[in-house]
Amino acid sequence: MSRVMSREASPLSERALLGMALVVIAGTVWSLQGLLIRLMDGADPWQILLIRGIGMVFATLPVLFLFGKGSAFSQFRLAGWRGLAAGAAVGMSGIFFVVAVSYTTVANTVFMVGAGPFFAAFLGRIVLGEAVRRETWIAMALSLCGVLLMVMDGLEAGRLAGSIIALFSPLCFAVYSVILRSASDVDMNPTAVYKGAFEIMAAGLVVVAAWKIASAAGSMGSGGAYAFMSLKDMGISFALGLLLGLGVLIFTFGARSLTPAEMTMGSLTELVLSPIWVWLIVHERPDITTLIGGAIIVFAIVFQATTGMRRSRPPIVP
């Protein structure tokens, strides 16, 4: 009996694999942020957010003009309220991360970020009615175990407030992912501009308020010191914005063919590669548990991608 393969499902499978590859690339681009921050002289996190936001806007507006054939306004109009909401959500994700590390350890915060795929899966199920495959649950559990291994030496108890704040970072990113999924037929590139603008407003308010509070207390020197940022740090922060903007654009494009859980898990490459870049460039060798945990996350992502391809393959019919 001869067998032929139906080709109807093949394009969907290829798009899903391309989408996963793109969100992995986006996570890889974002992972360079840790190295760049490590090279700074010591700027305040809110100052970094402010200049980074400016860099994001400068990096993404030309792309909108290009795709909008000279008119960026058309891109914003097509994205509508969902583009604004997605930009606000991903912007708040970054802000909550910055606030969280002020109240708890970076390890605690990163571990909470590892829960992002679970938030995305639940929200995708509730809001969009999308079922989560068994293989995806397995991959998410593996990735969370990998994140735990990476940060276990730095986890600390007794910092409940910081941990609660940290949870809002992956939750907001999950909201961002769900919005992107709901608008898979819409060009959501303006999201990156909205994120940059949101960070500029939020961080700008904090920086100005901190300077005024210090000045009002009779500490003009302290106020000036807080407001001062070296040219080196400003340049690096601006480069961070360029990288983040590029990553958001790539992520937005890849997200069109993935579920919220899949796109969020694919971006975990940011956590895996960040310590690797620091190791290679600054020669700060990560712990063996960090390397093992990163390998587990990579395996989980590959497992998710390959099982998704197998699922999407067309059936063999007589």
Q: How many CB atoms lie within 10 A of CB 217?
A: 10
**CB of 82 closer than 8 Å to CB of 183:** yes
- Which pLDDT does position 1 carry in this prediction? 37
Q: Are 245 and 55 in contact (CB under 8 A)?
A: yes
Which of 4-7's residues contact partners 24+ apart within 8 Å by CB, and which partners? 4/316, 4/317, 5/314, 5/316, 5/317, 6/314, 6/315, 6/317, 7/314
Element (H, E) at 89: helix 72-100
Which region, left, alpha or beta, applies to residue 129 given φ > 0 means left and ψ of -120 to 50 means alpha? left
Q: Would you state the pLDDT for residue 70?
A: 60
pLDDT for position 201 = 93
Q: Can you give the pLDDT at residue 90? A: 92
Residuewise pLDDT in 10s, the chain (318 residues): 333 333 333 444 777 788 889 999 999 999 888 888 888 887 788 888 999 999 999 988 888 887 766 666 777 888 889 999 999 999 999 888 888 877 777 767 777 788 888 888 888 888 888 888 888 888 888 888 888 887 777 666 556 777 788 889 889 999 999 999 888 888 888 898 999 999 999 999 988 888 777 777 655 444 444 557 889 999 999 999 999 999 999 998 888 888 888 888 888 888 888 888 888 888 878 788 888 888 888 888 888 777 765 444 333 333
What is the distance between the alpha carbons of residues 254 and 18, in angstroms, rounded to a whole number? 7
The contacts found for 282-291 with CB under 8 angstroms, 24 or more apart, are 282/35, 282/38, 282/39, 284/38, 287/153, 289/149, 289/150, 289/152, 289/153, 290/149, 290/150
Q: Tell which residue, 179, 182, 256, 271, has the closest CA to residue 21.
A: 256
Q: Over the range 149-178, which residues count as b (16 or more CB within 10 Å of their CB) and which as e?
A: bbbeeeeeeebeebbebbbbbbbbbbbbbb
Identify the pLDDT of residue 316: 33
What's the pLDDT at 308? 62
What's the CA gap between 212 and 166, in Å, rounded? 28
Residue 258: exposure state from Cβ atoms within 10 A (0-12, 13-18, ≥19): buried
DSSP bridge partners of 316? 5
Tally the C-alpha atoms within 13 A of residue 179's C-alpha that lie toward its C-beta: 23
Structural domain boundaries of the chain?
38-309
Nearest CA to 63 out of 204, 239, 252 is that of: 252
Q: What are residue 41's DSSP bridge partners? A: none
Phi-psi sector, 199: left (phi>0), alpha (psi -120 to 50), beta? alpha
CB contact at 8 A, 16 and 308? yes
H helix or E strand, kind and range, residue 317? strand 316-317
pLDDT value at position 266?
Answer: 87
Alpha-carbon distance 49 to 237, whole Å? 8
DSSP state at residue 313: S
